[in-house]
Amino acid sequence: MSPFAIAPHHRVRFGQVNAWIFDLDNCLYPASTGLFALIDERMGAYIQRLLGVEADEAKRIQKHHFHTHGTTLAGLTKEHGVDPHDFLEDVHAIALDRVDANPRLAEGIGRLPGRKFVFTNGDAPYARRVLEKIGLADAFEHLHDIHAAELRPKPERHGYELLCSRMGIDPARACMVEDMAQNLRPAKALGMTTVWVDNGSERGNHDADPGHIDLRITDVAEWLHDLAGDEA
């Protein structure tokens, strides 16, 4: 018998899933840690140095790129010729003391049947640091980062297709868990089951159209234990 028993009210949606794809930032750790705010600050400082502008203008440019291109990096590379490796190394040079190990989350992910992946717009070195800190260093088969997506960030469909093709994932049997609602639209278009982590981290356009979101949750660990039919 599988160690993971799906509760009856979830069976139709999740019973056939054999590939579980998780976002990283503000998804596998609480948005309340404010970790991404540290990255945001470093992005602003990077733009200040790059373009010789004040903080307010750097913030405006940063948000323009995020809304227009999906990530600040995508806009900087397209419009300013920034080296992605230099940018990512700089903005991810943050302390992780705000993030704690989450044994309950690790247990929930460990009990999932099938294969498990991380799909992030960050880079692999940073993602591995975070996964190590929260106790998930060995929980995933593959880490699909921005370089693996050929620098075409979510929500561009390209990275999703590359992940499925390279790892032999059948989208019809995959579930994607993500805190940015807009990033679930391509997943749904490919045929995935989609789970939106509505934890207050949504930035920019609020794209929580129920047409591409199958389930809304607020905490990944609690959802996984509910999915498994745990009493508490």
Same domain as 142, residue 59: no
Domain containing residue 206: CATH number: 3.40.50.1000
> What's the average model confidence in pLDDT over 203-230?
79
Question: Which CATH number characterizes residue 71's domain?
Answer: 1.10.150
Average pLDDT, integer, range 62-83: 89
Between 147-151, 186-190, 206-210, the lowest mean confidence (pLDDT) is in 206-210
Q: What is the pLDDT of residues 35-68, one digit of tens each?
A: 989 999 999 999 999 999 999 999 999 989 988 8
Which residues of 3-84 form beta strands (DSSP E)?
19-22
Residue 2 has pLDDT above 60, yes or no: no
Q: What is the pTM of this model?
A: 0.89
Q: Tell me the C-alpha distance between 110 and 116, whole Å.
A: 9
pLDDT band at 196 (very low <50, low <70, confident <90, very high): very high
Q: Which pLDDT band, with edges at 50, 70 and 90, does 209 fall under? A: low
With residue 196 as reference, give the H or E element that holds it.
strand 193-197
Query: Residue 85's domain spans which residues?
Result: 35-91
pLDDT in tens, 128-147: 999 999 999 999 999 999 99
Give pLDDT, residue 5.
45
In a domain, 183, yes or no: yes
Q: Residue 206 above 90 pLDDT? A: no
At residue 1 the predicted structure's pLDDT band, cuts being 50, 70 and 90, is: very low
Q: Is residue 1 part of a domain?
A: no
CA angle 8, 11, 14 (to 5 degrees): 145
Residues 129 and 87 in one domain: no
Q: What residues does 101 pair with on adjacent strands? A: none
More confident: 129 or 207: 129
Q: What is the percentage of the chain residues whose pLDDT exceeds 70?
A: 89
Residues 120 and 165 in one domain: yes
Mean pLDDT over all residues of the chain?
A: 89
Strand order in the sheet with 115-119: 142-144, 115-119, 19-22, 174-178, 193-197, 215-217
Q: Residue 197: inside a domain, yes or no?
A: yes
Neighbours of 184 (CB within 10 A): 27
Is the pLDDT assigned to residue 122 strictly greater than 90?
Answer: yes
